[in-house]
Structure 1
Amino acid sequence: MKKEKPNIILVGGGGHCTSVIDVIEQEEKYLIKGIIDSKEHLGKEVLGYKIIATDDDLEKLYLTCPNAIISVGQIKSNVLRVHLSQKLKAIGYHLPVVISPLAYVSKHTIIEEGTIIMHHALVNAGAKIGKNCIVNTKANIEHGVVIDDFCHISTGAIVNGDCVIGRGTFIGSNATISNGVTIPPNSIISAGTFVKR
């Protein structure tokens, strides 16, 4: 008998949510129960999934669906994602790691809760990625890289070997971080930037 997939709710119904939906559908580990967003969006749909509740309903929803992922994007500021993470964890939600089957993730990596690895991203051996990070489409995380919590490595960005990326950092599309660079917490690296030692 085939085991029933667990439900998951998505917290945030904007543009990033559509990408998260696609990865979850491709991964086929969870069934999307619905989306959490602001009151004015209740009843609307994102790629066929209904916005079923607001943040105020999270405790009630937890009783029937203890799995959640933050589907709010992070362009520059991580404040909202941090707030949502704290709220979800205080209630007791499990925040799974979600990995696209189209990504390559070495078995010699550590990826912490709530992080999503998008389509065609590459995470190489010895990398460590913290909690609630976004490793976006075609991002390349090389060997020995350490990425702290609440970072967003945007589309096509390259983080070369043995870099350390501080908590809450945003690395823009197609930026390149040279080998061994340490990026301080809450940094914003603009799209296309080359950062070297």
Structure 2
Amino acid sequence: MSGLLLVGGGGHCRSCIDVIEADARYTIRGVVDRQPAAVADLLGYPLLGDDAMLASLLERERNALVTVGQIKSAEARIRLYSLLKSVDAVLPSIVSPHAYVSKHAGMGEGTVVFHGGIVNARAFIGRNCIVNSRALIEHDAVVGDHSHISTGALVNGSCHIGNGTFVGSGAVVHNGVKIGSGCVIAAGAVVKNDVPDGTLMRGDQ
């Protein structure tokens, strides 16, 4: 199996480790974190150093994955994605064997589909995205780069989610709705109408 470096050592990293192990296409070589002193439990994998070590580590291992989570802002994930691209890393997409991604769907590099996630026909997920546990991306929906569709969120058919947007746990996006870039849709929100760029949305709209 090919080796894989993980960039970011928090709780989201541990969830990614579980999916990567289940996917079984890559061997995790270790974890890189900006603040090594703050890293606690890496489920038995070694901490290899901080971000400054990436270039030298990638001379030996080209595959890497951003394993920092995203709630309010995609800034950290975008920064790390750009850093990895600047040193010519290869960012595979990872799909849990307990998820379903249609053969008619598309997915960009560095995206992870977690356990129970569903991506249906003609949906497209961009680069460096999180489709978290039990999230649904229905037919013909588009999710932009660096976005996070959180646990149990429902993105219905023909929706369009902009770049760097967070859709919280249990949120429901009605059929055909367009959500702009850089938005935060709170947990449990019901989105019935289009949402402009940069919106923080709670409740129903």
| TM-score (normalised: structure 2) | 0.92
Amino acid at match of 1:16: H
Secondary structure, aligned partner of 1:167:
coil
Q: Does 1:64 align with 2:44?
A: no
Asked if the contact 2:7–2:66 (Cα under 8 Å) also holds between the matched residues in 1, the reply is: yes
Which of 134, 138, 141 is residue 138 of structure 1 equivalent to? 134
User: 1:90 maps to what in 2?
Assistant: 86
2:55 alignment partner, SS class: helix
Cα shift at 1:66:
0.4
Once structures 1 and 2 are overlaid, which stretch shifts more, 38-47 or 147-156? 38-47
Total equivalences in the alignment: 193
Could you tell me how far 1:50 is from its partner in structure 2?
1.4
| Matched-pair contact (CA < 8 Å) for 2:30–2:48 | yes
Structure 2 partner of 1:188: 184
Gaps of 5+ in 1: none
Q: Is the 8 A contact 2:134 2:151 kept in 1?
A: yes
Structure 2: how far apart are the matches of 1:40 and 1:128?
35
Q: Residues 141 and 39 (structure 1 numbering): CA distance in 2 closer, same or farther, change over 3 Å?
A: closer
- TM-score relative to the length of structure 1: 0.95
The alpha-carbon deviation at position 53 of structure 1 amounts to 1.3
Q: Cα distance 1:116–1:40, how it changes in 2: closer, same or farther (>3 A)? A: closer
User: What secondary structure, in the 3-state scheme, does the structure 2 residue paired with 1:49 have?
Assistant: coil
Query: Kindly tell me: are residues 62 and 179 of structure 1, through their superposed partners in 2, closer, same or farther at Cα, counting changes over 3 Å?
Result: same
Matched residues in 1 for 2:65 and 2:84: separation? 9
**Structure 1 residue 14 and structure 2 residue 10: aligned?**
yes
- 2:163 paired with 1:167: yes
Further displaced range: 133-142 or 30-39: 30-39
Return the alpha-carbon distance in structure 2 between the equivalents of residues 72 and 44 of structure 1: 14
Give me the identity figure in percent.
Answer: 49
Q: CA RMSD in A?
A: 1.2
Instruction: Give the match's secondary structure for 1:69.
Output: strand
The code of the aligned residue for 1:184 comes to G
5+ unaligned residues in a row in structure 2: which ranges?
194-205
1:41 corresponds to which residue? 37
Name the SS for the 2:31 alignment partner.
strand
CA–CA separation in structure 2 for the residues paired with 1:75 and 1:51: 24
Once the two structures are superposed, what CA deviation does each residue of 1:70-94 show, in whole Å capped at 9, x if it has no partner? Answer: 0000011000110111110010000
